[in-house]
Amino acid sequence: METIARCEVCDSPERTRLFRLKDLMFPENTECYSVYRCSGCGVQYLDPRPSSASEFARIYPPAYDSYVQAPSGLFQRLRNLSWRPEIREVVALTPPNGRVLEIGCATGEFL
């Protein structure tokens, strides 16, 4: 695991821990994670964070959504319909000509 000493956006060493918890989706991963907010610019980040392929392989099981083939056909169309409320919310919160940064988009289907 890689330790983050300074914010990678503004280089500030000052931060506040927002929470510390275990992975709720994959209980077999017993690691605890802390999320911090940079006092300089407000960006939030994980510390420590995985930094090698072997660490990611240990954290994410083979059945993790990003590793499985995206559904197609009728199931995919139904899944897309189920996302409409979330998409409307994102659009409502985005100013005209604004941009949206998606972090952790997994398979990218939502995009």
Q: Residues 24-65: pLDDT tens digits?
A: 777 778 888 899 999 999 999 999 998 898 888 888 777 666
Q: SS in 3 state form for 34-102?
A: EEEEECCCCCEEECCECCCHHHHHHHCCCCCHHHCCCCCHHHHHHHHHHCHHHHHHHHHHCCCCCCCCC
**With contact defined as beta carbons under 8 Å apart, do 45 and 39 qualify?**
no
| Single pTM value for the model | 0.61
Q: What is the reported pLDDT for 2? A: 92
Which amino acid would we find at residue 54?
S
The answer for residues whose C-beta is within 8 angstroms of residue 103's C-beta and 6 or more apart is none
Q: Which residue is it, tokens 């954290």?
A: 59
Q: What is the reported pLDDT for 62? A: 73
